[in-house]
Amino acid sequence: MNLTGLCAVRRSGHGLLPVGEHTVVNSGDKKKGGPKGMATVLDKKHLEALKSYNPINVRFLTVKIYTKYAVLYIIQSYAPTPTSSEEEIENCYNDQQTIRDKIPIKEIRIVMGGFNDRV
């Protein structure tokens, strides 16, 4: 299965958008694009495997995919930059943990996205 995560998509609203041979699952600010927002892109031929998606906020999107052997959850994240407030950074990682905790332990979780880390 071909799957790609995108950050800083700058597209308003959320939903499914067909683009050529792919489908974009978009999650952005409800009213305006802005610098946040993310998307997960999958091949159109795998669209039937997409069970659901949940645009939680401008920083998190979950996508639930049924595979032949397991249920796969993609948690697409867009973390704050290191220059963001300590509170915003802490809230982001707390939100991510809450999202992870809601997924049944027997199901596969993949966390991907822009984590804005410095090395």
> What's the confidence (pLDDT) of residue 111?
92
Q: Which residues pair with 74 in a beta bridge?
A: 63, 110
- CATH number of the domain enclosing 17: 3.60.10.10
pTM (two decimals) = 0.83
Nearest partner of 4 among 74, 95, 64, judged by Cα: 74
> What's the confidence (pLDDT) of residue 118?
57
> What's the confidence (pLDDT) of residue 47?
87
Q: Which residues contact 105 (CB under 8 A, 6 or more apart)?
A: none
Identify whether 119 is part of a domain.
no
> What's the confidence (pLDDT) of residue 83?
87
> What's the confidence (pLDDT) of residue 117?
64
Identify whether 8 is part of a domain.
yes
> What's the confidence (pLDDT) of residue 32?
63
Total domains in the fold of the chain? 1
Q: Which residues form the domain of 70?
A: 3-114
* One-letter amino acid for residue 10 of the chain: R
Q: Which residues contact 63 (CB under 8 A, 6 or more apart)?
A: 25, 40, 50, 52, 53, 73, 74, 76
Question: Where would I find the beta strands (DSSP E) of the chain?
Answer: 3-7, 14-19, 22-27, 38-43, 50-57, 60-66, 71-78, 108-114
Query: Residue-wise pLDDT tens for the chain (119 aa)?
Result: 688 888 878 777 788 888 999 988 888 777 665 667 788 899 988 889 999 999 888 889 999 999 999 999 999 988 888 888 999 989 999 999 999 999 999 999 999 988 776 54
The answer to whether residues 33 and 46 touch, using CB atoms and an 8 Å cutoff, is no
Identify whether 10 is part of a domain.
yes
